[in-house]
Amino acid sequence: MQALLMHPDDNVAVAAADLSAGQAVEVAGETIRLTQPIPFGHKLARRAIGRGALVVKYGQPIGRALTDITVGEHVHIHNIESLRGRGDWGNAAGETVVVGSAGQFRLKTADAGPVAATHFLGYRRRDGRAGVRNHLLVMSTVHCSNSVVDRIGQTLPDVVALSHAWGCSQLGDDLAQSRRVLEEFAAHPNVGAAILIGLGCETMPTVEMGEKLAGLGLTVVRLTIQEEGGTRATYAKALGLARELQQDLARARREPIPLSELIVGLECGGSDGWSGITANPAVGVASDLIVAAGGTVILSETTEFIGAEHVLAARAADQTVGDRIIAFTRGREAEAARMGVDMRGGQPTPGNIAGGLTTVEEKSLGAIAKGGSTTIQEAIPYAHRPSRRGLVVMDTPGNDPESVTAMVAGGAQIVVFTTGRGSPAGCPIAPVIKIATNSATYRRLADDMDLNAGTIVEEGEPLGSVGCRIFEEIVAVANGKQTAAEIWGAREFAINVIGPRV
């Protein structure tokens, strides 16, 4: 196989190998003579595309031709541009163009075959939720206490020691969002007990947080450095408490939990031209299986809805949900417009471009494939818990740690993370399953990857088969299997800052 056609309406195809100028390539029964070299994962013109005409992939527009493009020519950033994302375009940034159909996103759960698993072995918590890990979390509530938290982590490597840059000099919505994220991490079902360590004069209300969480029946202890007599005294007291809590947690045992109680967050980072062809659609199959079992899947990264938000909105459970998806997307574009910047400077990223992605629309159409084909039940703000089961959209930025942090704060016990260029990122309290979009990346970063979706192109493995493997891996990780990110100790954490509006 030399090239792939993603939809009958497409006027571009994707190179399934490095192709040479002058090479004859078969695309959908037609022979195309290449006029330029086409790198693996990049696009070639299947049809002549006039200047100003739409470039179509997945049956959807991914941009507009900057010049006349001939059959067999390399189609990339040098000859097409996004229809979206420029802050200086004013109202034009809201343009939505639809052609063809979105059929490639309508993956059928039945394609994956029967699935035997109905339960996972998890930890039942006092608030009724179920976790897949039993962590002791020692967490700063302000950056001033990071040295104490870090020292405890060095002394007790089995403890999750979470330090960060937030908690002081924050106001209003920004402070509220940081507090919500920290509280949700301490209350997370993957956490069996938590120690909160503050300074004592910060804007983050450490005492109130501890009292609130303890009032919910959670095992939470809070300490402040100024009350305990300094960093050394706080460290010594926290260390003793941590050792006691570790002994208590060691007595906890896993028990069967219905898959309907599983919440899975979806992320893609370091995407390439194969993300929307292999790993993301395969994750979509697994997502459908989770939803079919009664579970919940969170689709995030609003900046990677741009140009594809109409596809998501069409799948909403009702008008309100659809309107919220559009509003989330327009809000991210409006932020760029207020700053007068071109969002395309960051979407797609330089790595995305090197991997074959050309415009934000192309990246988005591939990214949303992770959500599978089911109805979108709810659209929720950053780091909020879903109130409905099934497929849920969360408003997050595209930055991977900020997005993963938000979904885990929303209750996701596991995150599935696809990557084309390769990413080792993890999370402090939730296992992150890494799926390579192509076999070359899987082999090159073998220690950081859990599964390879590149077999879809390299070996002809059916999409449904890979989706089923991903589903089975989710259940195995829920049962306690360690992911590559956990083994390495990847614990990235970041909170999206709500800045002033101008």
Q: What is the pLDDT of residues 189-213, one digit of tens each?
A: 999 999 999 999 999 999 999 999 9
121 is a domain residue:
no
* Shared-domain flag, residues 49 and 76: yes
Strand partners, 24: 33
Q: Are residues 157 and 67 in the same domain?
A: no
pLDDT of 444 reads 97
Contact between 483 and 450 (Cβ < 8 Å) = yes
Q: Which domain holds residue 28?
A: 3-81
Residues 6+ apart with CB under 8 A from 435: 279, 282, 283, 416, 417, 418, 419, 449, 450, 451, 452, 453, 470
* Residue 48 CB neighbours (<10 A): 14
In this structure, what DSSP letter does residue 105 have?
G
Is 71's pLDDT higher than 80?
yes
CATH number at residue 73: 2.30.130.110
CA distances from 209 to 198, 218, 261, 305 (A): 11, 12, 26, 34
Q: Are residues 218 and 263 in the same domain?
A: no
Q: What is the distance between the alpha carbons of residues 128 and 184, in angstroms, rounded to a whole number?
A: 15
pTM: 0.92
List pLDDT tens digits, range 325-360. Answer: 999 999 988 887 777 766 655 668 888 999 999 999
Of the candidates 249, 281, 316, which is a domain's last residue? 249
Tell me the C-alpha distance between 44 and 156, whole Å: 54
Residues facing residue 266 across a β-bridge: 299, 416
Same domain flag for 334 and 475: yes
Written as six digits, the tokens of 463 are 């999409």
Report which of residues 320 and 83 the model is more confident about.
320
The average pLDDT across 462-482 equals 97
10 Å Cβ neighbour count for 502?
6
Are residue 296 and residue 412 in the same domain, yes or no? Answer: yes
Among candidate residues 229, 249, 269, the one where a domain is terminated: 249
Does residue 299 fall inside a structural domain?
Answer: yes
What pLDDT is stored for residue 417 in this prediction? 98
Share of the chain above pLDDT 70, in %: 91
Residue 92 pLDDT greater than 70, yes or no: no
Which of 249, 271, 287 is at the close of a domain? 249
Q: Following CA atoms 364, 367, 372, 375 in sequence, which dihedral angle do they give, to the nearest 10 degrees?
A: -40
**Average pLDDT, stretch 467-487?**
98
Q: How many domains, in total, are found in the chain?
A: 3
User: Is residue 44 domain-shared with residue 15, that is, in the same domain?
Assistant: yes
Verify that 483 and 342 share a domain, yes or no: yes
Check residue 110 and give its pLDDT. 41
Same domain, 147 and 265: no
Q: Based on the fold, state whether residues 364 and 411 are members of the same structural domain.
A: yes
Looking at the predicted structure, is the pLDDT value of residue 106 above 60? no
- Confirm whether 120 is domain-assigned: no
- What residue has token string 């988005």? 364
The percentage of the chain sitting over the pLDDT mark of 90, rounded to a whole number, equals 86
What are the tens digits of pLDDT across the range 355-375?
A: 999 999 999 999 999 999 999
- Supply the CATH number for residue 140's domain: 3.40.50.11900
Distance CA 238, CA 148 (A): 9
CB count, 10 Å around CB of 124?
17
Would you say residue 36 lies in a domain?
yes
Residue 494 lies in a domain: no
**How much is the average pLDDT of 368-390?**
98
Helix (H, G, I), strand (E, B) or coil at 139: strand
Helix (H) or strand (E) holding 433: strand 432-436
Positive or negative: CA dihedral 330, 336, 340, 344: negative
Tell which residue, 301, 366, 357, 303, has the closest CA to residue 330.
Answer: 303
Cα(14)–Cα(27) distance, integer angstroms: 9
Residues 267, 244 within the same domain: no
Confidence of residue 98 (pLDDT cuts 50, 70, 90): very low
Q: Do both 343 and 387 map to the same domain?
A: yes
Note whether 184 and 39 are same-domain residues.
Answer: no
Q: Is 123 inside a domain boundary? A: no
pLDDT at 58: 95
Q: Tell me the pLDDT tens digit for each residue of 255-301.
A: 999 999 999 999 999 999 999 999 999 999 999 999 999 999 999 99
